[in-house]
Every structure is written in structure tokens, then in C-alpha cells.
Amino acid sequence: AQKITQTQPGMFVQEKEAVTLDCTYDTSDPSYGLFWYKQPSSGEMIFLIYQGSYDQQNATEGRYSLNFQKARKSANLVISASQLGDSAMYFCAMREGLSSGGSNYKLTFGKGTLLTVNP
Amino acid sequence: SQTIHQWPATLVQPVGSPLSLECTVEGTSNPNLYWYRQAAGRGLQLLFYSVGIGQISSEVPQNLSASRPQDRQFILSSKKLLLSDSGFYLCAWSKGLAGLRDEQFFGPGTRLTVL
């Protein structure tokens, strides 16, 4: 089974509107971290936001916020007031704790969502 | 501030030829270093990571190898490239912090095409 699922291959949003990019994850480890990265057409991966499994509040970073629903195992990224520069691929990733038996260094990525912001 | 460099930016190589991709990090010491590969339209796959000089861990068996000859230098190599080695190779670093929140910061990547 996939550990990270991003069900939206592509999304469109009008400039200045908000958009939600979906991410569900699969782990039996009680300790894990969730990351969102942005990949513009240039290719570089840019870290956006982090949510820990034990964090009580949803993470926020500027226009980015995370809608973390632990029971549903979802960590959706919300971008408010979209800008043309937000057009990019967005990847959700997870790091599991050592109790999963895997490497604590490994980030497992989803396949990404291509966001297009229309003027 | 920290910066990460990768070169070359693009590379076209024939099947069976050798490969050497280089990654260097500036502005930090003793970073964790990572090599990822991204196939077209896919997410990233971790290939190798290193927590120190000469210490390399492989995540996926393949015909690639990695080396860390200096603290802030990470090299990805192959003796004989395969068609399936084509892809976008990204180097990343992290501070090696304890716990799960150890953000990885990525370089600009190398686009490799094997013909």
C-alpha cells in the first residue's frame, strides 16, 4: 500500500482564491512527521510546512496552513490568497519514527499535485 | 546562510558510460546528505544518505553508488549507466537534528538523460 496518497493529479485555482491540496498517509507508527514541498518548473524542492503527529495545533506558515485530521490520516495543505507564483508541483511527504523499523532519515513522498493559478 | 550546489545541471550520456554527479553544501558543518531520484511525473525516491564522511547508507539496490570524501561533498556515481537511470537527481542536506523535524533542503538538481 502507498504510504502517501495525493489523489489530485492537477488543480486549478483563480488568483486570490484559496485552494486545498489533499494528502492522506498510511502508517502504524504513533510518531511521524508530515512535510509539504513545492517544486516550481525550475525543479528545486522548496520546504513549505511541517506537522508533527503529536502537535496539538495545525501548522501555519504565512499563507500556508495544514488541515491535519489525525483520525482520518489526512494532512491537507491550504494555500490562501493564491498568487501566480504558486503555480507548481506540490508534494506531501512523511517521515516515520524509529518504531516502524525503517530509517529515521527517510522521507517518503507522494506523487504530487500540479497546481495552476489562473489570472 | 547555507547553500547547496549541484553540477552539472543537465547531462546526456550514452548507455554503458560512467556517471559522476557532485553536490556540495556551504555554510554548515557535518550535515546529513541525501541523493534522491525523481522519475518523470513521479515523487522522489531516496537513493542514498550519509550522516558523516565515509558513511553511506543505500535505500535502493541499483547500479549506482555514492561517496562522501569530504564533510560537505556528496558524489553519486555509476560505472555503467542504464536507460532506466534517466531522471532528475536531487541532492539534499539537513542539520541532522534529533527527532522527526529535520527539514531537508534541496539543491537545484541534475537532469540526466541516458540514450
Cβ contacts (< 8 Å) between A97 and chain B: which residues?
Answer: 100
Answer whether B105 sits within 8 Å of A47, measured CB to CB: yes
pLDDT band at A98, cuts 50/70/90? low
DSSP conformation letters of A47-104: EEEEEETT-SS--EETTEEEEEETTTTEEEEEE-S--GGG-EEEEEEEEE-GGGSS-T
pLDDT, tens digit (0-9, with 9 covering 90-100), for A5-58: 999 999 999 999 999 999 999 998 888 999 999 999 988 999 999 999 999 899
Query: Nearest to residue A90, comparing CAs of A32, A49, A29, A58?
Result: A49
Question: Rounded mean pLDDT of A67-94?
Answer: 97
Look up residue B60 and give its DSSP letter.
S
- Asked whether the predicted pLDDT for residue B1 surpasses 90, the reply is no
Is B101 an 8 Å CB contact of chain A? yes
Give the integer Cα–Cα distance in Å for B56 and B65.
9
Out of B92, B100, B102, name the one closest to residue A97 (CB): B100
Look up residue B85 and give its DSSP letter.
G
Above pLDDT 70, what percent of chain A? 93
- Asked whether the predicted pLDDT for residue B99 surpasses 80, the reply is no
Phi-psi region of A43 (alpha: psi -120 to 50; beta: other; left: phi over 0): left
Higher-confidence residue of A91 and B97: namely: A91
pLDDT, tens digit (0-9, with 9 covering 90-100), for B57-85: 888 867 899 999 999 999 999 999 999 99
Look up residue A15 and give its DSSP letter.
T
